[in-house]
Structure 1
Amino acid sequence: MPTFTHDGLTLAYIDEGEKGVPAVLLVHGFASSMRVNWIEPGWVQTLTGAGFRVVAFDHRGHGDSDKPQDPEAYTPQKMVSDCFALLDHLAIGSAVFFGYSMGARVSAFAALAAPERVERLIIGGLGIGLVEGVGDWDPIADALRAPSLEDVSHPRGRMFRAFADRTRSDRLALAACIETSRDELTEAEVGRIAQPVLIGVGTEDDIAGAPEPLAAMLPNAEVFAIEGRDHMLSVGDRRFKQKVLEFLKG
């Protein structure tokens, strides 16, 4: 897998599809990876098959990228800088940003930081939680630092700890990430995101927050309800894939 270097870190990425066609940057969620979030659920194949160039990478602290254990390495601003550094590495001036969960938060920050580089924005697995927060995540950090899954009683903590164990993640790096990557945007900041935005949230998702209040803050947004899907299962939903293709070609 190819890599690039930024901010003293080596980050793994993929670049699929033809050069010179519209590019989509896939930005995965917390405790996941480009393989778990985008390759295995079929997003890369779906998007390249529809004629798009697809770029994805493993966030710092995730997948095959370097994994610092200092919380200061994981501010949204630093994670946004990785996105732009990858586009620079590939000589891509601008792209559609498609983020899921934490990746959606990073993508929203990117749309504000350099709007000329974010053509459209797809927010998956995140609704009004972008502004109001997505609950208390300290138990998740505690769960990741616990000696074993058996020592974790908090339900959401157990879910993320089991997921981290299954993906053989660096739990201490993830605990550091969750401490500082959760900055929220204000309603006024969200209102300055002028690009076309698609918000896709599962109807059974108890983490994202409702999508409709977030869409109401945005000048040019639409909501797609992913029926019957929770936070973990929404990302690979075939109906969501179809809606994303319609949005990209619209």
Structure 2
Amino acid sequence: MPVLTSPDGLPLFYRDDGDGPAVVLLHGLTADGEMNWEWTGIGPALRAGGFRTIALDLRGHGRSAKPIEPEAYRDERFVDDVRALLDHLGIDRCGLVGYSLGSLVALRATPGEPRVVAVVLGGIGERDIHTTDHSTDGEALARAMEIDDPDEIEDPEARGFREWADATGANRAALAALTRGRGRDPFDLAALAVPALVIAGADDHLAGDPFTLAHRLPAGEGRCLAGDHTTALADPSFGGEIVRFLSHHLG
């Protein structure tokens, strides 16, 4: 089981498959690298397209460490983890693909990281511009992870994340700490100068319009496909768009 040690001493799991130009994959909240990329067929599609896929289980998820202290989940910790992964594997050129939480990490990690030459931001959109993060209130989401009876959760988006956390067996204490620990500083969209694909489902009301975000990026393009925040990933055209984009900019 491949594991790297984060700069602050946490063991982080990743899987490394295939050959070709490297593509680092960052999953969404409550998921892990296996669920987000292998179960959906995106990882296999990338490898069939000639890419090497490296899927990191973000801290608090999957087989990686799951601290329950909010300070372990500051934004800079996630950025440091991505850079440590590139250092660990000796990667000097790659594409970075995120979904939801993973895209928010990619938005912060890509500027100032010369090894990332193209980025895919999945499952985010104009709501991330206006709120600097997904619109679900962080404290509401943390409480949703901690409450005993999910039927008592009033916020529908927070309830949806709680239901998915229960379905996947996620560590809810770690997820509560994550939502409290991450910052809400505005993104420096002008600093993301590499080619960027922003892609979301047409019914993804959590993300909103991907074109609005794409137009704010120096080299952005938007795509809107069928599905919502959960189902869009399973559409084969989602993986197909990622392969198309990376083949042009990374292949």
Kept in 2, the 8 Å contact 1:130–1:185? The answer is no
- Taking the aligned partners of 2:57 and 2:191, their CA distance within structure 1 comes to 28
TM-superposition CA deviations, 1:174-225 (whole Å, max 9, x none) = 0111123353434xx2012111110101110111132222112111111111
Kept in 1, the 8 Å contact 2:111–2:193? The answer is no
* CA RMSD after TM alignment: 1.4
- Taking the aligned partners of 2:89 and 2:130, their CA distance within structure 1 comes to 35
1:59 is aligned to: 58
1:243 is aligned to: 241
1:1-250 map, 5 Å: 1-6=1-6, 7-18=8-19, 21-114=20-113, 116-133=114-131, 134-135=134-135, 136-181=137-182, 183-186=184-187, 189-227=188-226, 229-250=227-248
Kept in 1, the 8 Å contact 2:41–2:236? The answer is no
TM-score w.r.t. the length of structure 2 is: 0.92
Kept in 2, the 8 Å contact 1:132–1:184? The answer is no
TM-score w.r.t. the length of structure 1 is: 0.93
Q: Detail structure 1 runs of 4+ shifted over 4 Å in the superposition.
A: none
- Taking the aligned partners of 1:196 and 1:61, their CA distance within structure 2 comes to 29
Letter in 2 for 1:158: R
Sequence identity (%): 37
Letter in 1 for 2:58: H
Question: Which residues of structure 2 form unaligned runs of 5+?
Answer: none
Equivalent pairs, count: 244
Give the superposition deviation at 1:78.
0.7
Question: Which residues of structure 1 form unaligned runs of 5+?
Answer: none
